[in-house]
Structure 1
């Protein structure tokens, strides 16, 4: 699996370097992915049209100690972040930015009432942890609008990330999705 996702990251680096959009050192980017254990979880928060992204190492056991010889790399990665929002819904050619081994900010044109999605079609090898407000907006949209407007890979990634993050002892995401769907089912039952 790492090889496949590593290939995606490598292809992205080379594509950007070929187009002259970024002074990309492919070896430097790939060494971070190939020489240190694990992969990142990207945690998102929104302030108006700005989304702030932080990264940490994703581990199932939060008490696990680093045990690989390259722990001095800091468990930070070069992460290709693709994103879209409710107003643009661009799933075929989403906007892309890079997290250069640290936090990053990016702008979305959507209103405060609209959702946003990151890691479109799960092309990156990382987990995404959304803030509860965005998960509520996504859950409402998926329940009340045409859920098929969001590609199945992106929808499944949303659930896979939420359950994996919950399994790693961060229950807030699954609780948010569960409570929203439970509320929706209860309101349908009461309105019959």
Structure 2
């Protein structure tokens, strides 16, 4: 029986496997993890992600992974509450301007959740993208999260366009294919919502896609 399997896994891992699986199998949808930095901690809070932008009451037990300044400095955290915090100290790099600080939640997209970063974390992640620190899967996952959040009206399209500019010069076909899908969708949305700006947005997207690899 399924319950017996969960019991065995709980005994072996010491983690609440049954409760964790129940939160994922007994309710629809998945969470968005809101992350913001405060001192030496990253405060995280979960909410139900709904594409129409409305709020839901769902709550999950979420296994969170994070890359912290480098992929060989990873942290794992089990979010059991609506909100909690991860202690990072100086492990993620120097947070001073021009430093090497960055963190990426949901490493390589192995978890089933979206991530929304505060301004400081988003800027640091963009810098990691532009300086070629992110893996192929995280390049895709980063833009995929922000695109979904923009469609759900939880982030602005301006923030998405800023992120996309960080992909100029990208040479990997799978990343470019994903960027092309996102930019095509943005062009269609902008043509419907702001016809006067559609031409300028289209030219910006073309510039991003056609930028030569460095």
> What is the TM-score of this pair, normalised by structure 1?
0.70
Task: Indicate whether 1:78 and 2:56 are aligned.
Answer: no
Residue 86 of structure 2 aligns with which residue? Answer: 106
Query: How far apart are 1:47 and its partner, in Å?
Result: 1.1
Q: 155, 163, 174: which is aligned to 1:171?
A: 155
Residue 124 of structure 2 aligns with which residue? Answer: 137
Structure label with greater radius of gyration: 2
Kept in 2: contact 1:81–1:124 (CA 8 A): yes
- Partner secondary structure for residue 47 of structure 2: strand
Q: 107, 118, 124: which is aligned to 1:120?
A: 107
Residue 7 of structure 1 aligns with which residue? Answer: none
The whole-number CA distance in structure 2 between the counterparts of 1:152 and 1:182 is: 17
The whole-number CA distance in structure 2 between the counterparts of 1:180 and 1:28 is: 36
Query: How far apart are 1:175 and its partner, in Å?
Result: 2.5
Q: CA RMSD in A?
A: 3.0
Q: 22, 30, 36: which is aligned to 1:39?
A: 30
The whole-number CA distance in structure 1 between the counterparts of 2:147 and 2:95 is: 26
Task: Indicate whether 1:18 and 2:12 are aligned.
Answer: yes
Distance 1:178 1:82, change over 3 A: same
> What is the TM-score of this pair, normalised by structure 2?
0.64
The whole-number CA distance in structure 1 between the counterparts of 2:11 and 2:29 is: 26
- Partner secondary structure for residue 71 of structure 2: coil
Query: How far apart are 1:80 and its partner, in Å?
Result: 0.3
Distance 1:121 1:180, change over 3 A: closer
Question: Which piece of structure 1 moves more, 128-137 or 106-115?
Answer: 106-115
The whole-number CA distance in structure 1 between the counterparts of 2:144 and 2:11 is: 32
Residue 150 of structure 1 aligns with which residue? Answer: 134
- 1:21-64 residue CA offsets vs partner (Å, 9 max, x unmatched): x3x23222111111111100000000122000000000011347
The count of corresponding residues between Structure 1 and Structure 2 is: 158
Distance 1:107 1:170, change over 3 A: same
Residue 190 of structure 2 aligns with which residue? Answer: none
Distance 1:139 1:177, change over 3 A: farther
The whole-number CA distance in structure 1 between the counterparts of 2:71 and 2:42 is: 16
Unaligned runs of 5+ in 1: 1-9, 67-73, 187-192
Distance 1:36 1:51, change over 3 A: same
